Amino acid sequence: MEPCHQTIRTPGPQRVSPHRGGTRSGVCKQVSRAESTQSIVEFIVGHGLTNIVPVGHSYGGTTISKVAELIPDRVRRLVFCSGFVLNDGECLNDAWVISPHKNQWSP
């Protein structure tokens, strides 16, 4: 993630890189999707951020889409970088399929 953080520090619009619940070292990793999303919502609201453009990569796509549902008045648009988008009632395992050509998981 360091190359990403270096880009975030370049001049231009304000950029922040909050950690979802359960992702920092030394903390409990048993965090639900709802708890993970709530930690981002609390960060955004707690810092008074508005007109934001959340970027979600992989599982982060599920988080930013839920954030937009919970606080739509603060979100300008969403950016998905190979991110998952789940339907209501769907879990991440529902979004994965096995690639018949590579015999490995792929989104």
Distance, CA of 15 to CA of 12 (rounded, Å): 8
In a domain, 85, yes or no: yes
In a domain, 62, yes or no: yes
C-beta separation of 40 from 68 below 8 A:
no
In a domain, 89, yes or no: yes
Can you give the residue range of the structural domain that contains 35? 2-6+16-106
Fill in the amino acid letter for 91: C
In a domain, 11, yes or no: no
In a domain, 54, yes or no: yes
| Number of domains present in the structure of the chain | 1
**Distances in whole angstroms, Cα of residue 24 to Cα of each of 16, 83, 98:** 16, 20, 30
In a domain, 56, yes or no: yes
51-103 tens-digit pLDDT: 999 988 888 888 899 999 999 999 999 998 887 777 777 777 776 665 555 55
